[in-house]
Amino acid sequence: MARSPVHCMSLTVLVLPLVLAVAYLLAAFPSPPAPITVHQSLASLPQTSRSWTIYPEDFYPGGAYAELPYGKVRYWLMGPEKGRKIVLIHGLSIPAIIWKDVAPALASNKYRVLVYGASFLRYLYGRGYSDAPQTTYDPTLYTTQLALLMQHIRWEKAIVCGVSMGGGIAAAFTSQFPQLVDENVVLIASAGIMDSGDISRTAKFMSSPLVQTLASSGPVRHYLQRLANSSSSSVTAAMEGAESSNNDSDSPDATTNTPHSASVQAALEIVRLQSAHLPGYNAALSSSLRDGPIRGQHHAFTSEGFEDRRVLLIHGTKDATVHPRYAEGIMDLLPEKTRRKSKVVYVDGAGHDLTLTEPERVGGAMWEWFEGRG
């Protein structure tokens, strides 16, 4: 039956206000964004935790915290205040403990050394004594963190040195903030241009969002904590055995331990403790693996930021994490003028954690380079 014009008009008058009200609600100005969730760092663990023995807040002298937009960052300054400035950037999983021998050696040679927790930029966000924001851990997050930290300590310029993913951060930082970078850039076992195929299937699987959601659940975290706590005694024994072998040339196990095996054991234990006890650690690690400056930084190395730099690349010949071929790959990307002033140093027999296992050779190569003898 046909509706009369009056009936249609009445229906319109009744429905139109409802439609306009719904449209207004949908188009209304959004609510203020929620504050960024920030997870706690190693500082939140009880004093009974083994982390305080292996890697206390005062692991290096001159420690302090900087309050940055994405949480607190732990940093240390050592060496003479008027010394030449250098910032050391750690890698993906191991915090600033990775510089335990290199940083003091540079400070003793009259360099003013900044070590931080990004993880861990000592730190980088999400590692060690630096808070872990719930966000995407992309190159810009890390480079902005370092730029803000340098502003906080009133550094206008510094040599930039990164290990592993820290090398990728150093490259991105040089590209984005060239005015803050001294003439020299040092890249140790540097990531940045890795192929996805070189990242293990296990790492890819564990860094997937679904697995991370499951890993952050209460039962799984409780299991990881029990596992970490139960392994502490065996790790302690291994570390003490390594230290004993290093100090006793007659030890029957001396030939099976490197001079710095205790340092490696300590660093791995810190990784285990962070993974088990810090809610933001695994998420930060996974996001860094997916979105961070491990891959895709080819443009950074070819950028104007690297014009007129001197780049020292140090890489272990037995590196199974970042293949040694990437050192030459990075060298090939550098601007031609920069490439002529740059150098690759291979540390024979060294693996990926060469700042822990070969600190004398790494430090020696850096010192010769800075002094113009490299």
Q: Is the pLDDT of residue 65 over 80?
A: yes
pLDDT of residue 287: 79
> Which pLDDT score, from 0 to 100, does residue 294 have?
94
Res 93: pLDDT: 79
Residue 255, CA atoms < 13 Å, CB-side half-sphere: 1
- Please confirm whether the linkage preceding 123 is cis (ω < 30° from 0): yes
Q: Which two tokens stand for residue 126?
A: 């999400």
Query: pLDDT above 90 covers what percent of the chain?
Result: 47
Residue 172: partners with Cβ closer than 8 Å, 6 or more residues away: 139, 140, 142, 143, 192, 293, 297, 300
pLDDT tens digits for 17-58? Answer: 777 777 776 666 666 666 556 665 666 667 777 767 777 888
Nearest to 241 by CA among 221, 258, 227, 218: 258
Cα(121)–Cα(16) distance, rounded to whole angstroms? 58
Mean pLDDT of 187-193: 98
Please tell me the least confidently modeled range out of 17-26, 184-193, 299-308. Answer: 17-26
What is the C-alpha separation between 91 and 98, in angstroms, rounded? 8
The distance from CA 303 to its chain's CA centroid, rounded to whole angstroms, is: 22
- Do 316 and 299 touch, CB atoms closer than 8 A? no
- pLDDT tier for residue 161 given thresholds of 50, 70 and 90: very high
| CA distance readout (Å), 176 to 169, 171, 306 | 10, 9, 10
One-letter amino acid at 112 equals: R
Distances (CA, A) of 195 to 44, 199, 208, 297: 36, 7, 18, 11
- Choose among 262, 288, 277: nearest CA to 119: 288
pLDDT at position 208 over 90: no
pLDDT band at 126; cut points 50, 70, 90: very low
Q: What HEC string does the chain produce? A: CCCCHHHHHHHHHHHHHHHHHHHHHHHCCCCCCCCCCEECCHHHCCCCCCHHHHCCCCCCCCEEEEEECCEEEEEEEECCCCCEEEEEECCCCCCHHHHCCHHHHHHHCCEEEEEEEEECCCEECCCCCCCEECCCCCHHHHHHHHHHHHHHCCCCCEEEEEECHHHHHHHHHHHHCHHHEEEEEEEECCCCCCCHHHCCHHHHHHCCHHHHHHHCCHHHHHHHHHHHHHHHHHHHHHHHHHHHHHHCCCCCCHHHCCCCHHHHHHHHHHHHHHHHHCHHHHHHHHHHHHHCCCCCCHHHHCCHHHCCCEEEEEEECCCCCCCCHHHHHHHHHCCHHHHHCCEEEEECCCCCCHHHHCHHHHHHHHHHHHCCCC
Amino acid identity at 215: A
CA–CA dist 181, 306 (Å, integer):
10
Tokens of 26: 């949908």
CA distance 204 to 269: 22
pLDDT, greater one: 175 or 122: 175
Choose the most confident range, by mean pLDDT, from 26-30, 57-61, 229-233. Answer: 57-61
How far from 249 is each of 156, 230, 244, 256, CA to CA, in Å?
Answer: 47, 31, 9, 11
Please give the average per-residue pLDDT across 262-281, as a whole number: 77
Note the pLDDT of residue 238.
43
pLDDT tens-digit map of 72-107: 888 999 999 999 999 999 998 788 899 999 999 999
The pLDDT-based confidence of 320 (bands split at 50, 70, 90) is very high
258 pLDDT higher than 90: no
Average pLDDT of the residues in 266-287: 75
For 36-45, how does the pLDDT look when each residue is reduced to its tens digit (9 = 90+)? Answer: 566 656 666 6
Q: Output the pLDDT for position 370.
A: 94
